[in-house]
Amino acid sequence: MANAQPLLSVRGVSKAFLGVSALENVDFTLKAGEVHALLGENGAGKSTLIKIITGAYRRDEGEVLLDGTPIYPRDVVDAQKLGIGTVYQEVNLLTNLTVAENLFLGRQPKRFGLTDVREMNRRSRAILDTYGLSIDVTAPLANFSVAIQQVVAIARAVDISGKVLVLDEPTASLDAHEVEMLFAVVRQLRERGMGIIFISHFLDQVYEIADTITVLRNGRLIDTVPVAGLDRLKLVSMMLGRQLEADFKRTIDPNTAKAEPLVSLRGLGKRGNIDPLDLDIRQGEVVGIAGLLGSGRTETAQLVFGIERADSGTISVAGTPVNMSSPRRAISQGFAFCPEDRKTDGIVGDLSVRENIIFALQAQRGWMRPLSRSEQEALADRYIAALDIRTSDREKPIKFLSGGNQQKVLLARWLATNPRFLILDEPTRGIDVGAHAEIIRLIVDLCERGMALLVISSELGELVGYSSRIIVLRDRKMVSELTGDEISTEHIMKAIASHGATGEAA
Amino acid sequence: MKNSKYLPLLATFVVFVLAYVICISVFPNMLSTRVAGNLLTDNAFLGITAVGMTFVILSGGIDLSVGSVIAFTGVFLSVILRDTSIHPLAAFVLVLALTTAFGAAMGGIIFFLDMPPFIVTLAGMFLARGISYLLTTESVPITHPFYSTLQDLYIRMPGGGRLTLIAMIMVAVFAFGIILAQRTRFGTYVYALGGNLTSAQLMGVPVAKTTIGIYALSGFLAGLSGIVFSLYTSAGYSLAAVGVELDAIAAVVIGGTLLTGGYGFVAGTFLGICIQGLIQTYIVFDGTLSSWWTKIVIGLLLFGFIALQRGLMWMSERSSRNMRHASASGAQPTSA
């Protein structure tokens, strides 16, 4: 490729929100015929940069050049017209319209002033043919898998924009087979000379598809490097800004593995949610659940906690079978559950830290036996100190706390009920690095004090660090149980990636 | 591939045919163009406004003001024809401009102030009804000779049935609605808004223009429906057409349109109107049944259709889950 001027070039762009800097003096260069991965942890500034490029935000400083010309996209639609198309993780198409209507919305071919449906369908077929996709374009988009919707979204973006394609976590909800299909499309577009910005949390995929990687951290550019020859550990340390604690692993007391299980699942499952699985969890044990989004992780936790009712199998607690028909039942067995989405399922934003902490305990005691104010205050103070919850005041509404501190309040809520068995769903999602380490320390600590824990996390390194055992889910099935030396990120990834042949011929 | 989006429409059609067969088997006389003609004439005003309501509901909204707008139109026409010498045709144009602007204003408020359509059109309902009272509280007869001319226009159908002017207007409005929904950009935008507002915006749908257009259309058709209603009753009365908005919503839902928007057909609404008309006709033929039976049957039908829609959605969610893998491997990309 001739090293002519870059396709897209971002120079010294800064952006601040209410005085807080989200992006500082960032450079980014995309060449034609290149797949450029943009990496960084939460809060690194990836999405801010993308939103500036795609017109959702306006930059405070710096310039964005497309084909050497400065551009000032007013909004996403304007950026599309300039040549920058975006495909999001949550496919932003209209599932109630047909495939053809989705491809041509807003630019339908017309005949005698009316939409020429036949022509539109014909052209849609022609477009999708170039992607090797022969589907019924007159069927509603909802009839197709997310992967196909994703390809349709790409086809639309390319057809309208045609220069730069931004793929924002396009693979998050796809299985390995579907990812392959998507990547074939991406490779094809690269050969056509498009510039592709690829955002993903899956490093394997980045290594598979990208030519160049740009890493952001805390709103600053760390480096832009070619993928070939890039050491994986080095990349992760660039992203995290510290050496990877890959070697850290909790030493596990071999005696715990011999103890009687506290909770045991036998053939527990629910059709369409999770296939039947067996699992024992002992006191003093952290069992990790690994798997991609949509692999059945949360569904498993919900079955155990009685949020969803299983249609097969049994749950026994300390050897006695329990009919886990509702969360109340689970709580009365000494179970506790911190859900994944704390904003909608966990915290009550307008109530104070104290009120949020005493919630579960009060519910367990029943409304007839209220906790006195002084008991509540003592309890709140104790957990604020014990978990180091950073709040100016125990009466402060919880919505004003940072994500990490909200998470700690939720933990405190359940710890106050003195549970035997604690389920954590993504306990470290969306919280800062400092709080992250504290939550992990707390998990280890609780475990060492004899609690049984079931932890779901997407952060495999973290899971490897504290789990006594890890089960790996894939496509709503338990595919592997890792113990002892088998516990490593690599093994988890392998388990997730193996069992590849899912898509039976249709 | 079987298209589940036509299933509610098909269900409505089956219900209609069944209802007709039952009616005919009890009263063989109901199989005549006379009955069909009367059915269309009696429900013309409801059908016209139901077309507007279909667009509103397809876009995920609701328009509660149409009944009041119909009454306002009638009162406005009767008062203006009584007190001035304006020709009815000019009065029609005037009142249609007013009701269209009224609908457009509601659409503007819904979009720009980001208000729920339910509240905005509820306010519109009170407003239009209030203005009708302000004009007159009495039933004002319309005696203009042009009205008689219009009322006498009809096409004689084989078998002696009469296809009156207002029935023809309704059929024309339905034809227009079907083309607008299925064959124009505006129509696709309406479905897009009802499907997913955020996606529609990101895909470049002019949401402001479309929202205003939808409520303006509903206002226009409510005005047209008011004119037809005044032709049908030869009077304007501020208490007329109370609850017509709910009858229109019922017809739309029975016609298979999803109340949450995005799915449905204008043609389904026509069947919905016909089913309602059929029940009324049956009651008239029977002679002993209270007319409230119409409401009871409509109520039951509504329950039935809501349950059907829920069931269909549930089934399509399940089948799309099962289909995921099948379709993923069924369409493999050829290597580039």
> DSSP string of B5-60?
GGHHHHHHHHHHHHHHHHHHHH-GGGSSHHHHHHHHHHTHHHHHHHHHHHHHHHTT
Q: Is B243 helix (H, G, I), strand (E, B) or coil?
A: coil
Longest CA–CA separation in chain B, Å: 78
Asked if B2 has any chain A CB less than 8 Å from its own CB, the reply is: no
The whole-number pLDDT of residue B14 equals 86
Dihedral, CA of residue A454, residue A458, residue A461 and residue A465, to nearest 10: -10
Q: Is A266 helix (H, G, I), strand (E, B) or coil?
A: strand
Instruction: Find residues 234-293 of chain A whose CB sits inside 8 Å of chain B.
Output: 272
* Cβ-contact B43, B273 below 8 angstroms: yes
The whole-number pLDDT of residue A247 equals 46
Is the pLDDT assigned to residue A499 strictly greater than 50?
Answer: no
Q: Do B202 and A134 touch (CB under 8 A)?
A: no
Distance from CA of A104 to the nearest CA of B (A): 10
Token pair 């490779």 is found at A187
Phi-psi domain of A450 (left: phi exceeds 0; alpha: psi -120 through 50; beta: other): left
Q: State mean pLDDT over B274-278.
A: 90
Is the pLDDT assigned to residue A47 strictly greater than 90?
Answer: no
Q: Do B326 and A272 touch (CB under 8 A)?
A: no
Q: State mean pLDDT over A117-127.
A: 93
Percent of the residues in chain B that have a pLDDT greater than 90, as a whole number? 62
Please state which of the ranges A112-126, A233-247, A435-449 shows the lowest mean pLDDT: A233-247
pLDDT tens, position by position, A373-420: 888 888 888 888 777 777 777 787 877 776 677 878 888 888 888 888
* Domains (range + CATH), chain A: 8-96+140-240 (3.40.50.300), 256-334+419-497 (3.40.50.300)
The whole-number pLDDT of residue B331 equals 41
B171 pLDDT band (50/70/90 cuts)? Answer: very high
* Cβ-contact A34, A190 below 8 angstroms: yes
The whole-number pLDDT of residue B334 equals 39
| Cα of A108 vs its chain's centroid, Å | 36
- Sequence ranges of the domains in chain B: 4-315
The whole-number pLDDT of residue A162 equals 83
User: What mean pLDDT is reported for chain A?
Assistant: 81
The whole-number pLDDT of residue A253 equals 63
* Cβ-contact A38, A200 below 8 angstroms: no
The whole-number pLDDT of residue B3 equals 57
Residue of chain A with shortest Cα separation from B192: A94
Q: In the structure encoding, which two tokens stand for residue A357, read together?
A: 């902490």
Q: Is the dihedral of CA B34, B36, B38, B40 positive or negative?
A: negative
Token pair 């449905």 is found at B264
Is the pLDDT assigned to residue B131 strictly greater than 70?
Answer: yes
The whole-number pLDDT of residue A180 equals 87
The whole-number pLDDT of residue B115 equals 93
Distance from CA of B298 to the nearest CA of A (A): 28
CA distance A370 to B179: 64
CA distance A211 to A207: 8
Is the pLDDT assigned to residue A502 strictly greater than 70?
Answer: no
Q: How far apart are the first and last CA of chain B?
A: 28
Tell me the chain A residues in contact with residue B1 when contact means C-beta distances shorter than 8 Å.
Answer: 136, 139, 143
Tell me the chain A residues in contact with residue B327 when contact means C-beta distances shorter than 8 Å.
Answer: 135, 143-145, 148, 506
CA distance B79 to B88: 11
Of A93, A117, A506, the CB nearest to B326: A506
Is the pLDDT assigned to residue B230 strictly greater than 90?
Answer: yes
CA distance A416 to A380: 9
Q: How far is CA B74 from CA B49, B68, B229, B299, in A?
A: 14, 10, 7, 28
The whole-number pLDDT of residue A124 equals 94
Q: Is A371 helix (H, G, I), strand (E, B) or coil?
A: coil
Asked if A139 has any chain B CB less than 8 Å from its own CB, the reply is: yes
The whole-number pLDDT of residue B329 equals 41
Query: Could you tell me the strand order of the sheet in which A212-217 lies?
Result: A84-87, A164-168, A195-199, A34-39, A212-217, A220-226
CA distance A443 to A465: 11
| B180 vs A336, more confident | B180
Amino acid at A240: L
pLDDT tens, position by position, A337-366: 888 766 666 777 778 878 888 777 777 777
How many Cα atoms sit within 13 Å of B238 on the Cβ side?
15
Q: Do B191 and A139 touch (CB under 8 A)?
A: no
The whole-number pLDDT of residue B332 equals 41
Q: State mean pLDDT over A148-174.
A: 86
Instruction: Find residues 94-113 of chain A whose CB sits inside 8 Å of chain B.
Output: 94-97, 101-102, 105-106, 108, 113
Residue B53's CB: how many other CB atoms inside 10 A?
30
The single-letter DSSP state of residue A200 is -
Q: Please return the burial class of A119, using the count of CB atoms within 10 Å of its CB with bins 0-12, 13-18 and 19+.
A: middle
Q: State mean pLDDT over A67-82.
A: 88
SS3 track for A32-54? CCEEEEEECCCCCCHHHHHHHHC
Tell me the chain B residues in contact with residue A105 when contact means C-beta distances shorter than 8 Å.
Answer: 188-189, 192, 203-205
Q: State mean pLDDT over A122-141.
A: 90
Strand partners, B162: B156
The whole-number pLDDT of residue B302 equals 82
Q: State mean pLDDT over B245-272.
A: 92
The whole-number pLDDT of residue B301 equals 82
Please state which of the ranges A466-480, B81-95, B250-264 shows the lowest mean pLDDT: A466-480
The whole-number pLDDT of residue A503 equals 35
A242 pLDDT band (50/70/90 cuts)? Answer: low
pLDDT tens, position by position, A215-228: 988 788 888 989 88
Of B185, B196, B329, the CB nearest to A505: B329
Is the pLDDT assigned to residue A470 strictly greater than 60?
Answer: yes
Is the pLDDT assigned to residue A244 strictly greater than 60?
Answer: no
* Cβ-contact B200, A130 below 8 angstroms: no
CA distance A387 to A394: 13
Q: In the structure encoding, which two tokens stand for residue A440, read together?
A: 């992990």
Is the pLDDT assigned to residue B320 strictly greater than 70?
Answer: no
| A499 vs A71, more confident | A71
B47 pLDDT band (50/70/90 cuts)? Answer: very high
Q: Do B198 and A185 touch (CB under 8 A)?
A: no
Q: Whole-prediction pTM value?
A: 0.74
The whole-number pLDDT of residue A267 equals 86
Q: In the structure encoding, which two tokens stand for residue A27, read together?
A: 């450079």
Asked if B188 has any chain A CB less than 8 Å from its own CB, the reply is: yes
CA angle at A297 for the pair A291 and A299, rounded to the nearest 5°: 155
Q: How far is CA A154 from CA A102, A183, A468, in A?
A: 11, 12, 42
B327 pLDDT band (50/70/90 cuts)? Answer: very low
Instruction: Find residues 198-237 of chain B whose CB sits inside 8 Å of chain A.
Output: 198-200, 202-205
Is the pLDDT assigned to residue B328 strictly greater than 50?
Answer: no
Q: Closest Cα to residue A54, out of A20, A83, A21, A23?
A: A83
Q: State mean pLDDT over B109-131.
A: 96
Q: Closest Cα to residue A391, out of A344, A342, A435, A345?
A: A435
Is the pLDDT assigned to residue A285 strictly greater than 50?
Answer: yes
Of A96, A113, A191, the CB nearest to B191: A96
Is the pLDDT assigned to residue B109 strictly greater than 90?
Answer: yes
Which DSSP helix (H) or strand (E) runs through A288? strand A286-290
Is the pLDDT assigned to residue B325 strictly greater than 50?
Answer: no
B226 pLDDT band (50/70/90 cuts)? Answer: very high
Is the pLDDT assigned to residue A24 strictly greater than 70?
Answer: yes
CATH topology of domain B4-315: ABC transporter involved in vitamin B12 uptake, BtuC (1.10.3470)
Residue A395's CB: how many other CB atoms inside 10 A?
13
Tell me the chain A residues in contact with residue B187 when contact means C-beta distances shorter than 8 Å.
Answer: 115
Is the pLDDT assigned to residue A231 strictly greater than 80?
Answer: no
Q: In the structure encoding, which two tokens stand for residue A47, read together?
A: 């999405």
Helices (H), B59-184: 66-83, 88-112, 117-135, 145-151, 165-183
Amino acid at A131: Y
